[in-house]
Amino acid sequence: MTVLLDFLFHWDHYLQVIVLTHKEWIYPLLFLIIFCETGLVLTPFLPGDSLVFTLGIFAAKGWLNLYSLFFLLTLAAIGGDSLNYLLGNKFGKLFYAYSESFFIKKEHILKKTEDFFSKYGAKAIFLSRFVPILRTFTPFIAGIGSMAYSRFLFFNVFGGLCWIGLFLGTGYFLGNQPLIKNHFKTFIYFIIFFSLFPLIIERIKSKLTTKTNLAVENFSKKRKADNMKME
């Protein structure tokens, strides 16, 4: 447990060590992480935005090749979403029926993703690229809804290119700036928080709405009971 906590709080250090000492297999490993983060509904906890940004910084230092990273990570993002769509199309309804037995709560994640998809339509495939967790579930929901794959693929490719390009490029161009170099870990945590901020707000709103509805319901019951007593 201690080792796991140490890794979670110092993952950037461990990643740096791996990059510098195991360059021969670091690219396949990075491909696999992004592929799983976007392609498997049970692994939304894997790093996405912060990892890609950090790799951009490493590329700026000359530790990794920027063009190889862009090609492989974009391919992983597009391939992962395509796999996710296929899984949703083939097994989505079965997963949805038994999702309560997993650590993922249907009303907290799948329902929110459905609402997001209903609001933005096919554009949700692109927009969800920039929202952790929803990024993992939106293509799955698209598959369940039997969205035309040609339409899905367009937004999938466009979204993958923009997502990887934005975070990798930003990390690369800011990587050697003194502010970033001196406060690297703080900046990574800021990216994680900023990415999760919409979900945090949505969660707070959901709780407030639930409490408000419950209060209104209790008030209505009390008022009805008082009216019955008066009669």
pLDDT tens digits along 148-169: 889 899 999 999 999 999 999 9
Residue 26 and residue 41: Cα distance in Å, rounded?
A: 24
Confidence at residue 216, expressed as pLDDT on a 0 to 100 scale: 53
Range of the domain at 12: 2-216
38 neighbors 76 (Cβ within 8 angstroms): yes
**Predicted local distance difference test score (pLDDT) of residue 32:** 94
CA distance 15 to 12: 5
What is the predicted pLDDT for the residue at 176? 76
Q: List all residues 6 or more positions away from 109 whose beta carbon is below 8 Å from its beta carbon.
A: 133, 137
Render the burial of 191-207: b for 16+ CB within 10 Å, e for the rest: bbeebeeebeebeeeee
Q: Distance between the two ends of the chain, CA-based, in angstroms?
A: 63
Map 104-121 to HEC letters: CCHHHHHHHHHHHHHHHC
**Residue 46 within a domain:** yes
Query: For residue 134, which of 189, 195, 192, 210 has the smallest C-alpha distance?
Result: 195
Phi, psi angle pair for 176, to nearest 5°: -100, 10
Q: Is 0.85 topped by the overall pTM?
A: no
Identity (one letter) of the amino acid at 62? Answer: G
Query: Would you call 91 exposed, middle or buried from its count of C-beta atoms within 10 A (0-12, 13-18, 19+)?
Result: middle
Q: Confirm if 34 and 52 have CB atoms less than 8 A apart.
A: yes
The overall average pLDDT reported for the chain is 77
Residue 51: CA atoms inside 13 Å, Cβ hemisphere, count? 23
Q: What whole-number distance in Å separates Cα of residue 93 and Cα of residue 115?
A: 17
**pLDDT value for 85:** 92
How does pLDDT run across 80-136, given as a tens digit for each residue?
A: 999 999 998 888 767 666 555 444 555 556 666 667 777 777 788 898 898 877 888
Comparing 188 with 159, the larger pLDDT belongs to 159
pLDDT tens, residue by residue, 198-207: 556 555 665 6
Let me know if residue 127 belongs to a domain: yes
Look at the chain and report how many structural domains it folds into: 1
- Per the domain annotation, does 228 fall within a domain? no
